[in-house]
């Protein structure tokens, strides 16, 4: 069985920092660490950019930026993955085509400057234990950790809600991915032991207590099939939803987003949508309903109903939204055959990445053994399975 990936210790961060940065008089102070968690979305997939509902939990896995300020406006960062140094000046921020990982801290810095922050240069190490391209929000974790590092280095602060919006703008406008606000929001508003129900339009949110880890555990399985959302069909799905919305508005002029369309209204007007737009809209509209019912189920400790909603979500993502893949389907189908599995689904943007399963705690070892054996037998790949408790929000230490 795969346990939770090893944390990136402060000692390791110090060692990596000293390997790549000198201790000249250019530097002002000792190093500080900004950390932000990844997330797994329990249900509510591809709804956030449609003003819908989502239900993520923060992971114990995350991204750390171990840094110290500089006296000039230079930013120099060593990224442990892919193992290279990137740098830029705060006075001349331009998108990088050769170092795409650098666009995340650059985009955040640009947004902070536009918001009026008096940023200072810094140098630091980016490291962590969050798999990249696995659908666990490594990009938002990097954005939030970078933002906290820039603010700390400048001696400034920002309200979490404002910071979540800022980091989302950085990913939308600078990186070029039309994501919603879920990933940045959970990184800044998570509470230990809870999942976060979020209305992505109003940003009203509720931390809902998860079942005791003595009874049920959240198991995450990395398929080892990697993807990059910026180069996948993520943006295409976003455009398809916008096209579906325009057509539905001809019949439902009151709607502003797909979240405003009731199931009854969709069933009455679905023939107005060509394929694949009808399938895309159907997923979003029904997924919002599932997410509302999932919140109610979890609040009432109805684990069985919650699990069934997870199952239904995966089938919709596979058949209607068409963002699953053979490896994810294999993991989900195999998981559902294992005793003690309450529900299983793909999570994240899709086209690879991870599945999430709710499993009886006493079946944890059996789940890992059977799922990994089945997956390797069919694909020849070693999937990485781990359990994570619901973690708290990003912080500086």
Residues with active-site annotation: 183
- Residue 108 corresponds to which tokens in the numbers above? 């955040």
- Residue 277 corresponds to which tokens in the numbers above? 């737009």
The radius of gyration of the chain from alpha carbons, rounded to an integer in Å, stands at 21
Strand segments (E) across the chain: 32-41, 53-54, 56-69, 74-79, 84-89, 122-128, 194-199, 205-209, 216-222, 341-347, 354-360, 384-387, 395-396
φ, ψ of residue 32 to 5 degrees: the values are -135, 155
- Within 10 Å of residue 183's Cβ, how many Cβ atoms? 28
- Strands 122-128 and 74-79, sheet pairing: parallel
Specify the 3-state DSSP secondary structure of 210: coil
The CA distances from residue 289 to 71, 297, 299, 359, in Å, are 52, 12, 16, 23
- Residue 377 corresponds to which tokens in the numbers above? 């037998």
**d(C-alpha 315, C-alpha 349), whole Å:** 15
């Amino acid at each position: 069985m795969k346990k939770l990936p090893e944390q990136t210790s402060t000692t390791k961060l110090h060692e990596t920092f000293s390997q790549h940065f000198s201790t000249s008089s250019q530097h002002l102070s000792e190093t500080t660490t900004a950390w932000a968690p990844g997330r797994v979305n329990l249900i509510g997939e591809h709804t956030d950019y449609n003003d819908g509902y989502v239900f993520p939990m923060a992971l114990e896995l995350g991204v750390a930026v171990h840094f110290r300020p500089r006296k000039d406006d230079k930013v120099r960062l060593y990224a442990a993955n892919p193992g290279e140094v990137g740098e830029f000046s705060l006075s001349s921020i331009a998108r990088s085509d050769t170092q795409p990982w650098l666009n995340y801290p650059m985009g955040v810095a640009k947004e902070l400057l536009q918001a009026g922050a008096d940023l200072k240069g810094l140098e630091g190490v980016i490291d962590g234990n969050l798999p990249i391209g696995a659908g666990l929000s490594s990009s938002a974790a990097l954005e939030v950790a970078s933002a906290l590092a820039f603010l700390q280095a400048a001696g400034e602060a920002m309200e979490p809600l404002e910071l979540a919006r800022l980091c989302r703008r950085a990913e939308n406008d600078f990186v070029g991915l039309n994501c919603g606000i879920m990933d940045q929001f959970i990184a800044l508003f998570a509470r230990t032991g809870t999942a976060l129900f979020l209305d992505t339009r109003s940003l009203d949110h509720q931390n809902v207590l998860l079942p005791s880890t003595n009874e049920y555990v959240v198991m995450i399985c990395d398929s080892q099939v990697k993807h990059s959302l910026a180069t996948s069909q993520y943006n295409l799905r976003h455009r398809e939803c916008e096209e579906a919305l325009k057509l539905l508005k001809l019949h439902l002029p009151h709607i502003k987003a797909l979240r405003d369309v009731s199931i009854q209204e969709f069933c009455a007007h679905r023939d107005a949508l060509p394929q694949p737009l009808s399938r895309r809209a159907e997923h979003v509209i029904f997924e919002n309903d599932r997410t509302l019912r999932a919140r109610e189920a979890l609040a009432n400790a109805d684990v069985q109903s919650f699990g069934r909603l997870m199952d239904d979500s995966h089938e919709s993502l596979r058949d209607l939204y068409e963002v699953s893949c053979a490896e994810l389907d294999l993991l989900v189908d195999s998981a559902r055959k294992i005793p003690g599995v309450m529900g299983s689904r793909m999570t994240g943007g899709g086209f690879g990445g991870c599945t999430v399963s709710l499993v009886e705690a006493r079946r944890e070892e059996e789940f890992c053994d059977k799922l990994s054996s089945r997956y390797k037998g069919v694909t020849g790949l070693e999937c990485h399975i781990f359990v994570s408790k619901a973690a708290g929000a990003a912080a500086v230490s």
